[in-house]
Structure 1
Amino acid sequence: MTTETRELFERYHACWVDRDPDRIVELHTADSIFHLHSGQEPARGRAAIREAAVGTFALLPDLAFHQISWRGGEDFWAVQFQMIWTSATGNRVCVDLADYVLIENGAVKEKHSYVDGVAMQAALG
């Protein structure tokens, strides 16, 4: 792990916690990919990634993250979270999420998010 990788992760994660799509995309390369592996096509480029983030925050306005584990190297990090939010019926929902992020020149090149799709669909259903 490098200090630069951990610092980039901390800045990037703070943007998601703050629900700030503009700051999120500033930390992506111009040709970056964000792929939520739950049936959607990857978002390609900053504009599409911004749209994906805005959509996530609209769907889950009180979304929070509980970090379970983090591993990183010179050009990547992998992190396990629980995503937590309140369902439309007022119930607290926790869904497992794993992110694998590739870094290029100090920015996010690819973000692959793997979510427990069955639990997610049940929570949103």
Structure 2
Amino acid sequence: MSEATKLNLAAIADRYAAAWLSHDPQAIVALHAPDSAFQAHGRSGEVKGKAALLKEFAGVFELYPNFGVEVRRLLLGDKHWTLDWDLTFQPPGKEPRKFHALDVVEVDDAGLVTRKDTFFDFAQAKAALEAK
């Protein structure tokens, strides 16, 4: 893979991360191809298409108030990246919480996301959601 491809993919990944950090489901979905798919493995089944993605991503921000990301590492490949990260959130009036996650994101030739798979550390996610 050429350095130019890596740099372009890094820029695409940065734009995608910025959309998530803006907490704006429409901004996120705008970076997806029309028939893009998403699955949060262990939490939900696959959703496909922009309308379903919009609903799913809005639900993420409801489930995880004050959603944030702590990046562990970003690995760039050929039309995909893998993000090793911690999902952070803070329910109103409670302490901040986090758990480990891993994303595999595929893009098409135009740089639009065609598929995003998110894998969670289920035990950590459950503990974070159930904490008092």
Runs of 5+ unmatched residues, structure 2: none
User: What's the TM-score once normalised by structure 2's chain length?
Assistant: 0.88
- Partner residue of 2:113? 108
Aligned residue pairs: how many? 125
Q: CA RMSD in A?
A: 1.4
4+ residue segments displaced more than 4 Å:
none
Counterpart CA distance in 2 for 1:124 and 1:48 is 24
Runs of 5+ unmatched residues, structure 1: none
- Partner residue of 1:117? 122
Code of the residue aligned with 2:34 in structure 1: it is A
Report matched runs for 1:34-113 at 5 Å.
34-87=38-91, 90-105=94-109, 106-113=111-118
Contact kept in structure 2, 1:66 and 1:83, CA below 8 Å: yes
The worse-fitting range, judged by mean Cα deviation, of 32-41 and 83-92 is 83-92
Instruction: Report the structure, 1 or 2, having the larger strand content.
Output: 1
Counterpart CA distance in 2 for 1:121 and 1:4 is 36
User: What's the TM-score once normalised by structure 1's chain length?
Assistant: 0.93
Q: CA deviation at 1:117?
A: 1.2
- Partner residue of 1:5? 9
Code of the residue aligned with 2:118 in structure 1: it is S
Question: Which protein shows a greater Rg?
Answer: 2
